[in-house]
Amino acid sequence: MSKQLSLKQLSLKSGLAALALSLVSTLALAQQPSTVRIRGTIEAVDGPVLTIKTREGTDTKVKMTDDVAVFAVVKTSLSEIKEGSYIGVTGMPQPDGTQKAIAVHIFPENQRGAAEGFRPWDRQPNSTMTNATVAQTVKGTDGQNILVKYKDGEKKVVVPPETPVVTFVASDKSEVKPGTHIIIFGATKKGDMLEANRVNVGRDGITPPM
């Protein structure tokens, strides 16, 4: 009887421990701040606070953190996409399963592996984003045919000649100024304001195309 009781107590304790772990995990997930992607034009800069007119036409305030990383989005050429390059492809799915690129950005080497994978994107309805390594690139009749591979799979991408190709260049707050086009990939909600530890600004009037 004592042994049976001991087993029951052990089972009960294990069940309670599992429940407690589940509750802690759920609470941790609930406490993780959700992120917001912002595209628009900087209207004003007040210290670390940016007023951005979003592409949807609303005014949004974003506070840059003290250690904010500023990157300029600059034009580059399709010829810079080589085997081994780590790139992001903003694409549209095609009937044959390929992705037709509407923009490509080349990551600097120190950002290799950033947000790797394939996912829905909000550049336009039904668009996608593929961050992956170029495995093969061959000139085709409709543009450059690129095979990219990521940890869970691969995608065939067609890059038409007119596709904007850009890269990121480390910069500083001097480029964060009114009139500049901006994209923030992951602003977080802090109180009644959004906060960002990285901002990407278009250099020389560029609108970040991704």
- Secondary structure letter of residue 208 according to DSSP: P
CA within 13 Å, CB half, 153:
6
Query: The pTM is what?
Result: 0.80
Q: Are strands 165-170 and 117-120 parallel, antiparallel or unpaired?
A: unpaired
Token pair in block for residue 85: 């390059």
Q: Which of 129, 130, 120, 128 is nearest to 151 (CA)?
A: 130
> Could you list the pLDDT tens digit for every one of the 210 residues in the chain?
544 445 444 444 444 444 434 443 333 334 455 889 999 999 999 999 999 999 999 999 999 999 999 999 999 999 999 999 999 999 999 999 999 999 999 999 999 999 999 999 999 999 999 999 999 999 988 899 999 999 989 999 999 999 999 999 999 999 999 999 999 999 999 888 899 999 999 999 999 999
Residue 170's Cβ-count burial label (10 Å; 0-12, 13-18, 19+) is exposed
**What is the C-alpha separation between 41 and 55, in angstroms, rounded?**
8
Residue-level pLDDT at 33: 56
Q: Which of 184, 173, 181, 171 is nearest to 208 (CA)?
A: 181
Residue 32's SS3 state is coil
Residue-level pLDDT at 148: 98
Residue 128's Cβ-count burial label (10 Å; 0-12, 13-18, 19+) is middle
Token pair in block for residue 117: 């994978």
Contact 111, 92 (CB under 8 A): no
Q: Which of 187, 184, 186, 183 is nearest to 208 (CA)?
A: 183
Contact 134, 85 (CB under 8 A): yes
Residue 210 sits at the vertex; the CA angle it makes with 33 and 119, to the nearest 5 degrees, is: 60
**What is the C-alpha separation between 121 and 143, in angstroms, rounded?**
23
* CB count in 10 Å sphere of residue 159: 25
Torsion angle of C-alpha atoms 72, 173, 131, 127, degrees rounded to 10 = -80
Residue 1's SS3 state is coil
